[in-house]
Amino acid sequence: MTDGIKVADVGEIDEGEAISVSRDVAGTDDDIAILRDDDGEFYALDDTCTHEEASLADGWISDGEVECPLHAGKFCLKTGAVLSMPATRDTKTHKVEVRDGCVWLFPGEPAAS
Amino acid sequence: MESTTPTAAAAAAETTESLSAPGLRKAGDPTRGSIKRPTELAPNIDVSGLVDSESGLLDRAIFTDEQIYRQELRRVFAPSWLFLAHEDQFKKPGSFFTTYMGEDPVIVTKDKSKTIRAYLNSCRHRGARVCRADFGDTKNFTCTYHGWSYDLEGKLVSVPNKAGYPDSFDTKDWGLVEVAQVQSYRGLVFGTWNPEAPPLAEALGQMAWYMDAMLDKDPEGTVVVGGIHKWELEGNWKLAAEQFATDWYHVNMSHASALMVMSPTGKGPKDEIVHRTGRQYVDPNGHGAGFPVHPKNRFDAQTVHQYYDYDVLRERLGDARVEGPLTNGHATVFPNFSYLPVNGSIRVWHPKGPDRMEVWAWTVLDKSMPPEVREAQRLYNLRTFGPSGIFEQDDGENWSEVQAISRGFVTNGVPLNYQMGMGSEIDDGRHAGQTSELYSDAAGRSFYSKWRDLMTTPAWHEDTE
C-alpha cells in the first residue's frame, strides 16, 4: 500500500467536475480520474474508459455516476461497476480521503466498498 | 465595421476538411478516391430570362421549380454569407447551437481557444448528424449511429473498432467538414462555405450603416432574450426575404386590423401616421431596408419608448438614423436574414424546398436594458411578430397564398409586377448609399438582380473545365 498523494485542495475541484492525475505521478498503469460528485463527495477511478480511449475526467458526473464524454458508457463512482452500454467492463477504484481541506489519493488501493 | 471572430478554417486546415465540391477532387485525396460526380446530376438552368430588372418583371417559376431550387442551394446559398447565430449564445467552450445553411445542417460552437467555428453536422462515416440537440454545452460531438466522435475542433477523436480499418485509414483525414469562413458583425455571427468570399464587412457594405441603427444603440452591444422561435410555412423563402428588403407597401392593407387594434383609440392610427413618407435603402448586393422618416419616430412599446433617451441616441447614431431606420422599418441582408428594429426581431428564412420555409426568429435587445424593459420588448415582439403575432400572421398568410396557387400552369406563366419606384434611386444626402421612396420595389429589383447574377455565375466549387 502506498502513502497518499496530495492531488488538490478541495476548492480546486467543483462539484460535478474532475481532474486527471498522470500515471507518472500516481505510479499506476493508467492515469487516475479524481471525480467530485454533485453532492460534494470525492471518488477516484482509472481515467481511461474501459470501452474506447477516452478520459472519464472529461465525463459528465452526477448522482453517483460518471458518463463517458465520448460514447455515454456509465460507471458507478463508488464501485467502478459498469452501468451502461456500450461499455461492458468494470473499471478500477482508488481510495480517496479528504483531510485538512486537501484531497489525498492512494493509488492502487481500492476504495472501501 | 468590425470583425471580431477570426476565421478559424485556415488554422484548422490540417485537421478538418474544407468543402471541396462535388465533382472536384484533389489528387490523392484519400477521402474521395475515384469518386467523381457526373455533371448531369447538377444541371444549370439559365435563369436570366426569368428576372427582368430593367422592366421590373419576374417569372413565377423562380418560386416553384425544383431544379431552380437545387441550383439556388449550389449557387446562392453555398457561396453567400449566411446568418448563423448571435455571439451571446456561446458563453464558454463547448457551447453549441445547431442550425442550417441553406439545407445543410451545421453545428456552431466555441472551441477550446474560444473561437466560434461551424461544422457540417454530418458524420463522415454514414452521414447521420453528430449533434441532435438544438443547443447546449458539450465536450464532443458523437454520432449516435456507430459512435464516431469529434472534438470541438472538428477532429475525429474516437472510432470504435479502429483496428478493423486498413493501415491507410488516418483519423486526420476524416474530421468534420468545416465552414470555410466564420465572421461576426456586432454580435451577429455569419458563415460561408466559400473560401474565396470577400470579408463579411465588405459583403455587408453600406448595409452596415443601417444595421448599426439597431445593433449599435448600446455601447455594450446586444444580447439574445428568451428562446428561438421556429415555425414552418408554405411559401418560397424569397417571398419573405424580398418583403423584408423592399415592402412597406403592404403595411396599411395587410396589417389594417392589427394597426386598428394597436392604435391608442382602437379606431385606427391618425392619417398622418398612415401616410408617412420615408426612404428605402437599395444595396447593389441585394440587401435592402425601408423606414418611415419623421423627427418623432419612436419605439412602439411604451416601456421601451420611455427607456430610450433619444437625444443620446442622436448623439451616438446621428439624426438621420434616429429619425429613420432606428425604430419602425424592415430589412433584409441578402439572401435570407431579416430584421425589424422596432421589436428586435431577427430571423432567418430557411429554405425547405421550393414551396416551404422554416422561420427561425430571435429577439435581440440592448445589453444595458434593465429586466423590465427587456420583458416589455419581448412581450411586444411576441404580440406583434412572434409565431402567432398579429402582424406575423398577416405576412405568413400572404406568402402562403401566393405560393399555394402558383403551380397552376397558366398562373405560373404570368409575370409579376415589380415596377414601383422605377429609376427613383438617388443619393439623398442624408442616408448611406442609394435610396428610393418608402413605397418602392427598388430594393426588390436589386435583390432579384443579385439572385440572377449568382444563379448565372459558376460558383467556386464548380468544375468549369
Question: What residues have CB less than 8 Å from A104, skipping those under 6 apart?
Answer: A4, A5, A6, A7, A96, A97, A98
d(CA B4, CA B6): 6
Q: Which residue of A has its CA nearest to B145?
A: A71
B393: helix, coil or strand?
helix
Could you tell me the CA-to-CA distances from A15 to A6, A8, B91 in Å, in that order?
Answer: 18, 14, 20
pLDDT of residue B27: 60
Strand residues in B15-134 grouped as ranges (E): 17-18, 51-52, 57-58, 82-86, 95-101, 104-110, 116-120
ipTM exceeding the 0.85 mark: no
| Spatial distance between the Cα atoms of B56 and B445, rounded to a whole number of angstroms | 7
User: Which residues of chain B have a CB within 8 Å of the CB of A16?
Assistant: none
**Optimal mutation site among B123, B138, B139, B171, interface A, most CBs of chain A within 10 A:** B139
Residue A88 reports pLDDT greater than 50? yes
Residues of A in contact with B140 (CB under 8 A): 69-70
Measured distance CA(B123)–CA(B134) in Å, rounded = 17
Closest CA to A89 of A81, A97, A77, A101: A81
pLDDT number for residue B26 = 57
How confident is the model at residue B464, as a pLDDT? Answer: 57
Given pLDDT bands bounded at 50, 70 and 90, which one contains residue B324? very high
On whether the CB atoms of residues B365 and B344 are closer than 8 A, the answer is yes
Confidence of residue B374 (pLDDT cuts 50, 70, 90): very high
Nearest CA in chain A to B137: A60
pLDDT, tens digit (0-9, with 9 covering 90-100), for B378-437: 999 999 999 999 999 999 999 999 999 999 999 999 999 999 999 999 999 999 999 999
> B361 with B232: CB under 8 angstroms?
no
Confidence of residue B226 (pLDDT cuts 50, 70, 90): confident
The whole-number pLDDT of residue B274 equals 79
| Cα–Cα distance, B382 to B343 (Å, whole number) | 9
Closest to B323 (Cα-Cα) out of B275, B269, B279? B279
CB contact under 8 A, A69 and B157: no
Q: What average pLDDT score do residues B10-22 get?
A: 43
| Contact at CB, A71 and B139, closer than 8 angstroms | no
CB-CB contact of B362 with B386 (8 Å)? no
More confident residue, B104 or B2: B104
Q: What is the mean pLDDT of chain B?
A: 92
Plot region of B136 (φ>0 → left; ψ -120 to 50 → alpha; else → beta): left
Mean pLDDT, residues B188-203 taken together: 97
CB B147 to CB A70 under 8 A? yes
Kindly tell me if the per-residue pLDDT of B211 is higher than 60. Answer: yes
Q: How many CA atoms lie within 13 A of B266 on its CB side?
A: 0
Q: Kindly indicate the confidence band of residue B458, based on its pLDDT and cuts at 50, 70 and 90.
A: very high
* B60/B463: higher pLDDT: B60
Q: Which residues of A touch B (CB under 8 A)?
A: 51-54, 58, 69-72, 86
What is the chain B residue with the closest CA to A52? B160
Check CB contact under 8 Å for A71 and B147: yes
- Which among A53, A58, A86 is the nearest to B147, CB-wise? A86
DSSP string, B48-65: GGTEETTTTEE-THHHH-
Read off the pLDDT of each residue in B158-182 and give the average, rounded to a whole number.
96
Percent pLDDT > 70 in chain B is 94
pLDDT of residue B263: 84
Of B9-18, B187-196, B245-254, B404-413, the range with the lowest mean pLDDT is B9-18
Q: Does A71 contact B160 at a Cβ distance shorter than 8 Å?
A: yes
- pLDDT value at residue B425: 96
Q: Give the gap in angstroms from C-alpha B105 to the nearest C-alpha of chain A.
A: 21
B171 touches chain A (CB under 8 A): no
Q: What is the mean pLDDT of residues B258-269?
A: 84
Q: Using alpha carbons only, what angle is made at residue B403 by residues B397 and B404, rounded to the nearest 5 degrees?
A: 85
pLDDT in tens, A26-43: 889 999 999 999 999 999
Considering only alpha carbons, which residue of chain B is nearest residue A85? B147
Q: Which grid cell sits at B151? A: 472534438
Alpha carbon of A26: minimum distance to chain B alpha carbons (Å) = 25
Q: In the predicted model, is pLDDT for residue A91 greater than 80?
A: yes
Q: How far is A80 from chain B (nearest CA, A)?
A: 22
Query: Inter-chain contact B140–A69, Cβ cutoff 8 Å?
Result: yes
pLDDT(A113) > 80: no
How far is A37 from chain B, CA to nearest CA, in Å? 18
Chains A, B: CB contacts within 8 A come to 24
Q: Given a cut of 80, is residue A1 above it in pLDDT? A: no
pLDDT at residue B23 above 80? no
> Cell triple for residue B5?
471572430
pLDDT per residue as tens digits for the range A57-79: 999 999 999 999 999 999 999 99
